[in-house]
Amino acid sequence: MPTLNWIGKDKIINHHQDVPYKVLNHEYGFSEKGKTSTSIDSGNLIINGDNLEALKSLLPKYEGKVNCIYIDPPYNTGNESWVYNDNVNSPQMKKWLGKVVGKESEDLTRHDKWLCMMYPRLKLLHKLLAKDGVIFISINFKHEHSHLKLICNEIFGETNYIGELTWESTTQPINSGSAKFGLQQKVEPIMFFAKNKSKIERFILKEIDTGLKYPHNGKLGDCRFQIIEKSDAGGYKRETMKFSILGQLPREGKRWQIGIDTAKWLEENNRLEIIEGVVKMAIYPDDELDKRRFVPFWSHLTANQYGTAQSGKDLLNTIMDEPIGFDTVKPPQLIEELISHFDKNSIILDSFAGSGTTAHAVLNLNKQDQGNRKFILIEMENYAETITAERVKRVINGYADKEGTVGSFDYYTLGEPLFDENNNLNETVGIEKIREYVWFTETRNPYQSTVFARNEAISTPFLGIYNETSYYFIYEKDNLTTLDYDSLAEYVQQKAERYIIYADNCLLPESFMREKNIEFKKIPRDITRF
């Protein structure tokens, strides 16, 4: 498989592993009822902070759980004012820090910087994707398109490339300067990869009404029922077709129209039911795919149906009641179309959130089809609160003459790193953040604070029980802790088949620990690093 090399690749290929894990600080929750200092806990998140660090902070809770990612990174046209700020330990790359990336004639390493910026972010996005997850990436044809395809092949795998969509982003020609004499791009590509293409059997499609109805609730879902009897007279008479099905023979003058082997298979697979004394076969939608008709998932997305960059910009200005200054904005219809082809309970992530179009699309779609999709937005710029979150608030409550979608979200900022420069626990983040991290890394499940743990003055080492394993984190700020017979008797009160206990030291004999099924983990050495 062809690969791409560029200045700095050797320094950033594993940079995502060196990015410090930072805790998320909850700032406020928001719903149609208003703003609250407590967490809404709806599953919708808006995070303000560097998206590389924010993606890392999501790993404990969301690794392998995000169903759909849409990102719209800088196109690197030379007209954007983006800055390379990743703190990579390289003298060459430190020269790039804090400098606006300019045009090709001004910046000979412009493409190298863009690739160094994108590669570790794509690595983390790949980790966050579920096994059947997908990623959509907006780009343009002129600048980084071919480079993006090669690094996505490298990270996601060439075999997981699904295809490329084209979006008709503009209908207006450029009639200024020399641009009007050159090739003008009417469409923008949207690159489309899967985590594992084999896990995607088919996309969810809108169905065209063909008159097929499934009005009944069968054992396997919505269905229609069909009688499996026919006349047992004249040329239709068959004695061999009069056997028992579900303990019942055909009615007088009737015989079955299916053989005994077929009947046995249907019975074993819950496809036969007795309805008002008559044996009937349940027919489900997937049994008649050849008779059903669907609107295709077209690779070309037209402006009249899905909007343009200008219509997206106009809508944003309408929502915000004033011109915001964004030159190009994706319209929500475009994102709605992309995410509508996946499960209604999907987690949707956008790590280049901009004005918040992805959240707008999720809220719109949930209102349309009563879905339960969740959004996670990450925006590093200081307008994350004033534009990104504010737009989502207005969409929830309604704007202009548009009815609100209702919904809610929690707003976060990036906090302190969990580990300091010496790889010791950063105690300034608070014991609860440390406990939460340890629990996530061990179980990949949400952490529930105990009554004692919520009051840090009264702490308990017990974290919880998961899969018959009891977890303990024996930790004291500024003091070394020891796992011995006394601490075991004092703290370990919850019986389980297995015990995982964190402490600074362990004095218990190995034979005793094997006998009691205890595994000791040393703080901080044995805490998982993402």
Segment 343-358 mean pLDDT:
96
Contact status, residue 160 vs residue 194, Cβ threshold 8 Å? yes
Residue 298 burial class via C-beta count within 10 angstroms: exposed 0-12, middle 13-18, buried 19 and up: exposed
Is the pLDDT higher at 379 or at 239?
A: 379
Q: Kind and range of the H or E element at 503? A: strand 498-503
Give residue-wise pLDDT tens across range 203-232: 988 888 888 999 999 999 999 999 999 998
Contact 242, 232 (CB under 8 A): yes
Give the whole-number percent of the chain exceeding pLDDT 90. 69
Element (H, E) at 55: helix 51-62
Q: Which pLDDT score is estimated for 205?
A: 83
Can you give the pLDDT at residue 507? 96
**To the nearest whole percent, how much of the chain has pLDDT over 70?**
98
Report the pLDDT value the prediction gives residue 459, as an integer from 0 to 100: 63
How confident is the model at residue 391, as a pLDDT? 97
Name the residue among 167, 148, 139, 180 with its Cα closest to residue 312.
167
Ranking 171-185, 296-310, 415-429 by mean pLDDT, the lowest is 171-185
Q: Where are the alpha helices (DSSP H) in 95-184?
A: 110-128, 145-156
Query: What confidence score (pLDDT) does residue 266 get?
Result: 94
- Mean pLDDT of all residues in 249-261: 92
Q: Which amino acid does the sequence have at 96?
A: W
pLDDT tens-digit profile of 120-154? 999 999 999 999 999 999 999 888 999 999 999 99
pLDDT band at 421 (very low <50, low <70, confident <90, very high): confident
Q: Which domains does the chain have, with CATH numbers?
A: 20-83+123-203+296-416 (3.40.50.150), 207-288 (no CATH), 425-522 (no CATH)
Measured between alpha carbons, how far is residue 527 from residues 128, 440, 461 in Å? 20, 11, 15
DSSP string of 191-222, one letter each residue: EEEES-GGG------PEE--S----EEETTEE
* pLDDT: which is higher, 448 or 382: 382
pLDDT at 26 over 80: yes
pLDDT at 416 > cutoff 50: yes
On the question of pLDDT at 187 being above 50, the answer is: yes
pLDDT value at residue 450 = 54
- For 494, phi then psi, to 5°, come to -90, 120
Cis peptide preceding 173, ω within 30 of 0 = no
Q: What is the pLDDT of residue 105?
A: 67
- 41-55, 97-111, 155-169: which range is least confident on average? 97-111
The tens digit of pLDDT for each residue in 423-463 reads: 889 989 988 889 999 998 899 887 776 544 444 444 689 99
154 or 233, greater pLDDT: 154
Residues 329/312, Cβ–Cβ less than 8 Å: yes
Tell me: the pLDDT tens digits for 70-115? 999 998 887 777 888 888 878 877 888 778 887 776 787 889 999 9
Q: Above 80 in pLDDT, residue 165?
A: yes
Q: How confident is the model at residue 177 (pLDDT cuts 50, 70, 90)?
A: confident
Length of the chain: 530
Q: Is 82 helix (H, G, I), strand (E, B) or coil?
A: coil
Contact residues for 269 (Cβ-Cβ < 8 A; gap 6+)? none
Q: What is the pLDDT of residue 455?
A: 44
Q: Are 443 and 465 in contact (CB under 8 A)?
A: no
pLDDT in tens, 261-301: 999 999 999 999 999 999 999 999 999 988 989 888 999 99
